[in-house]
Structure 1
Amino acid sequence: MPRAGRWLMSLAPEARPFILICLAMVVVAALAGGVSWAVPAAILLLFVLYFFRDPHRVPPEGEGLIISPADGRVVEIKEVDDAAFPGGRARRVSIFLSIFDVHVNRAPVACAVSKIRYSRGRFRAAFHGKASDENERNRMDLSTSYGPLAVTQIAGAIARRIVCDLEVGDQIQVGDRMGLIRFGSRVDLFLPLAAELRVKKGQKVRTSLTIMAFMVAPDAEGSHGA
């Protein structure tokens, strides 16, 4: 397949209606006022193509690796109350996605989807500390061989549309698509406190590539202790 064809195939399907609208704007503007009138619409089309890019990535291999579910920058690492985790506590790693980051979210590890909960809320700027608790969001609880995990997609001031591709009971592999948020948002990764964190606040992370944490399966911990 030609290089251009491969690039077009790497667009998220959610881009299609936006591409059609932008193409129509380009044509109408060109017919009405010539090439100069069509330039703004063409620039908007290029932005849409860039925003909805969905590059193919190969996750690193290894037992116990938890990979980033989103592109962006780590803006907060915090211990929080969470009944889904051992001892009722979890470590929340918050990733802010600017409009220039890839917005497709992918599975951080092989897992089963045990619960999905959508919560309506506000539309604060996604980098705001309260966005995790107050903004509109979609949480996916995941069962893994290493223990519970959770990923939450969070809308921001610009992002008003959360897309979740999963259903309860789905079995997914690391790097499989979970959904998408547009246009600028936040993704929270919840980890057990026992997980060994591999990132720090301010670090740039990439979906399916950056190792976020290392976890050991419960039976492996028992064997090691013996």
Structure 2
Amino acid sequence: MFHKEGYKIISITLVLFLGANVASYVAIQNNELQIAIFVLTLVFLFLILQFFRNPKRKTEVNDKTVVSPVDGKVVVIEEVFEKEHFNDKRLQVSIFMSPINVHVTRHPINGEVIFSKYHPGKYLVAWHPKASEENERTTVVVKNNLIEVLYRQIAGALAKRIVNYAEEGEKVVQGSDSGFIKFGSRVDVFLPIGTEVNVSLNQKVKGGESIIANL
């Protein structure tokens, strides 16, 4: 299964793959060169298909847990001052996505979207300390009776487009599709101080399945 954000790029890549190989078969008499072109274009096609894959995830919906919004590796767990929405100290858990990770963003909790905002910005590497404030990003806040969670999609040096489906006033289900980041980046999750974190630094997590915090 592939994510809808990849349909156009996958279609173009397939056309290029077929076109390049048909052209090489017609115009090139060198079998070794034909094979090389086939292998190179096949690898490129595989990478595109791999990037836009959208595997089904079995989210155990539970109001007393916060699930990871994305696949990747936990790179930050620290107390910070969150100044865009809360204006107070929060516990930040940051997850870095490499180009080979699934790039679907999922809602970490059940609830209502009470804040959703896009910010244009730079394309610093995703692990840069200023990336959370200076890079292109979207900020979404979901609230229910137990918790209010902010998560921020952050573009990286390779990520040139962030897609965010969350709309203010919308009721969302934990683990459901919230957006997509094209070509590598990071997501920051901001939790209330004192929240029991269920992950550790450098731990790999799966979006919609791995529990990053317990309430």
Normalized against structure 1, the TM-score is what?
0.86
Whether the 8 Å CA contact 1:121–1:136 is kept in 2: the answer is yes
Residue aligning to 1:71: 71
Tell me how far apart the structure 2 counterparts of residues 139 and 160 of structure 1 sit (CA, whole Å): 17
The alpha carbon displacement at 1:25 in A equals 1.1
Q: 1:43 deviation in Å?
A: 1.5
**Matched residues in 2 for 1:40 and 1:15: separation?**
20
Counterpart Cα distance in 2 of 1:72 and 1:180: 14
Show the counterpart of 2:187. Answer: 187
> How far apart are residue 41 of structure 1 and its match?
2.1
- Check the 8 A contact 2:61/2:174 in 1, yes or no: no
Question: Which deviates the most, 97-106 or 76-85?
Answer: 76-85
Q: CA deviation at 1:98?
A: 0.2
Instruction: Give 1:42's aligned residue.
Output: 42
Residue 89 of structure 2 is matched in structure 1 by 89
The runs of at least 4 consecutive aligned structure 1 residues that moved more than 6 Å come to none
Q: Give ranges in structure 1 of 5+ residues lacking alignment.
A: 1-9, 216-226
Question: Aligned-residue CA RMSD in angstroms?
Answer: 1.5
1:109-140 Cα offsets, whole Å, 9 max, x none, are 10111011111221111122321122110000
Whether contact under 8 Å (2:151, 2:188) holds in the other structure is yes
Letter in 2 for 1:135: N
**Residues 63-212 of structure 1 aligned to structure 2 (within 5 Å):** 63-82=63-82, 84-85=85-86, 88-212=88-212
Contact map agreement 2:72 2:204 (CA 8 A) in 1: yes
| Range 27-36 or range 135-144, more displaced | 27-36
One-letter amino acid of the counterpart of residue 59, structure 1 = T
Identify if the C-alpha distance between structure 1 residues 81 and 16 changes in structure 2 by more than 3 Å, giving closer, same or farther: same
The alpha-carbon distance between structure 1 residues 122 and 200, as it changes in their structure 2 partners (threshold 3 A), is same
Do the aligned partners of 2:160 and 2:183 also contact (CA within 8 Å) in 1?
yes
- 1:60 alignment counterpart: 60
- 1:220 corresponding residue in structure 2: none
Instruction: Compute the displacement of 1:214 (Å).
Output: 1.1
Q: How many Å apart are 1:210 and its aligned residue?
A: 0.7
User: Percent of counterpart pairs with the same letter?
Assistant: 37
Cα distance between partner residues in 2 of 1:50 and 1:27: 18
Distance in 1 (alpha carbons) for counterparts of 2:65 and 2:3: 26
How many correspondences in the alignment?
205
In the alignment, structure 1 residue 23 sits paired with structure 2 residue 14: yes
8 Å CA contact 1:197–1:213 kept in 2: the answer is yes
Displacement, 1:62?
3.9
Distance 1:146 1:23, change over 3 A: same
Aligned AA (1:38): F
Q: 1:11 maps to what in 2?
A: 2
Other structure's SS at 1:11 match: coil
Distance (Å, rounded) in 1 between the aligned partners of 2:168 and 2:116 = 7
Checking the alignment, whether the CA contact within 8 Å between 2:123 and 2:135 is kept in structure 1 is yes
Contact 2:110–2:142 (Cα < 8 Å) also in 1: no
Instruction: Tell me the CA shift for residue 61 of structure 1.
Output: 4.4
Q: Post-superposition shift, 1:171?
A: 0.4
